[in-house]
Structure formats: C-alpha cells, structure tokens
Amino acid sequence: MQQSVLKRLASIWVASCCGLVDPTSALAEVPAELVINSMEDADRMPWPPDDLGALLQLVSRDPRVQVRARVAELAGSVWRNAPLEAAHEVLVLLCTDPSARVRAAAGRGLAQLIERSAPADRIELISAWSTSSDLHRRTAIARALCAQCPMFVTDLAIEQLASDESAEVRSAALDAAAAHFAEAPSIYAAIAQARSLDEDEGVRHAARRLLMRR
C-alpha cells in the first residue's frame, strides 16, 4: 500500500514540476493517514536522496494541518537519507505556517536536524536561526534548543534569544534555559535574573521559576 501511495505522490511531484497539476489540490485527494504512513516509511525505500528531498518538499505543501505537522517532525528525524538542504528548506517554510501546531512541530524538527548535523553545521544553524531577522525562525530555534542534547554555543544562543523583542521568543528561550540548566547553572541563572523584571508577565514567571532552581 505504502509503495503505491509513494508512487502516486511521485507522480504528483512530476506533474506539478511540469505545471500540469496544482500540487495542493492533488495532495488533498490522497487520504491524510496514507500520506503520513507512506512518508514515515519512505526513508526505508531505495530512493535517491534528491528524490526523497523533493518528495518531502512536495508534501510540506499539503493543505491539511496534521500532514504538515508530521512533515515538520520528519524533516529532521525520519528523513535521514534526504539532503539536509531539503530538510532545512522545509523547516524554513513550515516554521511560518498559519497553524500553531505546525510551527511547534517545526521547532521539534529543527531540534532533530541540528542533532544529526555535523558539529560545524550545528553551530552555523544555531547561529543563523538565532540571529535571523525573521521572528518565526527565532521562535523555532528557541523551541528547538529546549531539546536536551548538549550543543556548543547553546548558552550563547539562549542568552541572545532571551533578550529578543518578542515575548514568545523570550519565553521559549527561558524554557530552553531550564532544559539545559544543569549544564551551566550560573550562566542560566544569570539569564533568568535578567528577565525576572521582564515587561511580559509570562516571561517574568518563567524566569522566577528558573531562579528557584538555584
């Protein structure tokens, strides 16, 4: 069943590249459960990496929230045979999704992408997303840093994000600080102290909860 669905998705991809179909409409005709199940199995199929990447990018345009949310998660974890560039492009797209569920999933997918990247690429990804002019990317990386996988420059990124102009980013950064608190208590306590008088009530509460762990 999964193979037949993958073939159908591949045919939609080819037809859309030729301008013969609207991919969003064509994807809507495939049951969401079948699309999700097939995507989860796709990386175990003998597909060339570029084809897997193209399929990932195609399905990220599915009109259904549950499909896009699963794509966001798979971009960084299940799709281990797809090019990192393709996964990155999908996460850039889905972190701006109208659905909060999809945006949250993009943060989790980004965490997985960072974890599986080479050390130098990890630093580049964290730095680029943390200093991006795009609010959605900064929010996504703040959420991604909540993953408890130790990463070089994590403390610097969290400190940067905890001073963001967006309260949502600052709050997510404090959640990340809590996740990594045991790694560098003094650093994260200082970050929390700086936000303990934040103008946003939610941020203040998050900061004070973190300070109670000292």
Instruction: Report the C-alpha gap between 180 and 187 in whole angstroms.
Output: 10
Residues in the chain: 214
Q: Tell me, what amino acid is at 127?
A: S
Model confidence at 49: pLDDT above 80:
no
Separate counts of helices (H) and strands (E) for the chain = 13, 0
Q: Which residues of 65-84 are buried (b: 16+ CB within 10 A; e: fewer)?
A: bbbbbbbbbbbbbbbebbeb
| pLDDT tens by residue, 196-212 | 999 999 999 999 999 99
Model confidence at 102: pLDDT above 80:
yes
* pTM listed for this prediction: 0.89
Instruction: Report the C-alpha gap between 16 and 12 in whole angstroms.
Output: 6
- Is residue 109 within 8 Å of residue 88, measured between CB atoms? no
Model confidence at 1: pLDDT above 60:
no
